[in-house]
Structure 1
Amino acid sequence: MADLNRIKVILAEKKVSNKSLAEHLDKREETISRWCQNKQQPSIEDLNKIAEFLIIDIRSLLNPSDWSK
Structure 2
Amino acid sequence: MYQQTDKLNRIKALLCLQEKTGGELAKYLNCHPATVSIWCQNKRQPRLNKLAMIVKFLKVHPGDLMQGYVIRHKN
Q: Same fold (TM over 0.5)?
A: yes
CA RMSD of the aligned region, Å? 1.8
- Identify the structure with the greater helix proportion: 1
The alignment covers a number of residue pairs equal to 64
Moved over 2 A (4+): 1-5
TM-score (norm 1): 0.83
SS in 1 for 2:67: coil
Structure 1: any 5+ residue segments left out of the alignment?
65-69
Question: Mind listing any 5+ residue stretches in structure 2 that lack a counterpart?
Answer: 69-75
TM-score with structure 2 length normalisation? Answer: 0.77
Q: Percent identity?
A: 36
Over residues 30-49 of structure 1, what are the superposed CA-to-partner deviations in whole Å (9 max), with x where a residue is unaligned? Answer: 00000011111001111110
Alignment partner of 2:21 out of 17, 23, 27: 17
Q: Say which SS state the counterpart of residue 19 (structure 1) adopts.
A: helix
